[in-house]
Amino acid sequence: MVAICGDGGFPYASAELATAVQEGINVVTLVFVDNAYGTVTGIQRRQFGSRFVGNKLHNPDYVKFAEAFGAIGIKLSSHAEIGKQLSSALKADRPVVIEIPVPQLDTPWDTLLDN
């Protein structure tokens, strides 16, 4: 089982790692990290002339965070490493959190609303 989320959304349910560890649910969570709330950034760019407030994140060390719950934490240096690490993580005997750095990307809302 694989869960995919950004660094803005992951903290809202990150405590579920404790449940996954406790219940032996070997879920792999891919956390795409751009250190920002992407949707908030897009809204502020479109509607407020790129005047940004409250859109940047100061993230924890996700490897240590995962390990604090008893899960495995992996930090990639590039998104190009996902394939190998995901394959390995799916074979793990406990939950795995993989932190993946990404540049700030457009959200689906950017594409839909800019057209």
- Reported as a single tens digit per residue, the pLDDT across 92-113 is 999 999 999 998 777 776 677 6
Q: What pTM does this model have?
A: 0.86
Burial of 89 (0-12, 13-18, 19+ CB in 10 A): buried
Q: Percentage of the chain with pLDDT > 90?
A: 66
Query: What are the pLDDT digits (tens) for 34-59?
Result: 998 888 888 888 889 989 898 899 99
Structure tokens at 42: 């897009």
- CATH architecture for the domain at 2-114: 3-Layer(aba) Sandwich (3.40)
Cα–Cα nearest to 94, from 76, 113, 67: 67
